[in-house]
Amino acid sequence: AATYRSVSVESSLPDQLLVLADDLLPRLFSNLFRNAIQHNDSDSPKVRVTAERTEEMIRVRIADNGPGIPSDEQSTLFERGDNTGSSHGLGLYLVHTVAERYGGTVELSETGPDGSTFAVELPRAKQDAADEDGLAEDDYIEDDRAEADWVGDNPSVTLRS
């Protein structure tokens, strides 16, 4: 039987975070989000998503309050794993590969007993390219608070008002 688990999710995202991408981009973030929840053994698990933009890049951080990543796993975190003897396999390898495909990067920017933070940098899309694709201001993500329920390998996110 599946085990239900509530996770507090906070986000702070500026308007108009535009990157040009295909259907692999949601998988990149889904994988990081899934890891932040699945490997979090805190009594009150939390995930915080923040983003900022520079002239050329969008930087998204996904932070959790889990146990951190052991130092002996950090150097091979984004390598293709075999799921034996470690808690990572193809997930972070694919995150790294997809980020590079878009001309971006992913890194473990912080880790310790109070949690881990992964940072993804992706090139910004030019506004005129987004206008050609018909994106409206309503299509952008704004600051929200959400609650995620975790059932097996399937997250369910509910926004709170």
Q: Rounded to whole angstroms, how far apart are CA atoms 35 and 2?
A: 17
φ/ψ of residue 126, rounded to 5: -75, 140
Say which residues have a Cβ less than 8 Å from residue 1's Cβ, sequence separation at least 6. Answer: none
Express each pLDDT in 79-90 by its tens digit: 886 544 555 557
| AA letter at 104 | G
Question: pLDDT-derived band of residue 49, with 50, 70 and 90 as boundaries?
Answer: very high
Q: What is the pLDDT of residues 20-44, one digit of tens each?
A: 788 888 889 999 999 998 888 888 9
- pLDDT tens per residue, range 109-150: 999 999 999 999 999 987 655 455 554 443 333 334 444 444
pLDDT at residue 80, as a whole number: 82
Query: Mind listing the domains of the chain with CATH numbers?
Result: 6-138 (3.30.565.10)
Q: Which residues contact 79 (CB under 8 A, 6 or more apart)?
A: 93
pLDDT for 4 beyond 90? no
pLDDT tops 80 at residue 153: no
Give percent above pLDDT 90 in the chain. 40
Whether the CB-CB separation of 148 and 34 falls below 8 Å is answered with no
Contact present, 8 and 158 (Cβ < 8 Å): no
Residue reference for tokens 């992913």: 106
Model confidence, pTM:
0.74
Output 92-97 pairs: Cβ under 8 A, ≥24 positions apart.
92/31, 92/35, 94/27, 94/28, 94/31, 95/28, 95/31, 95/32, 95/120
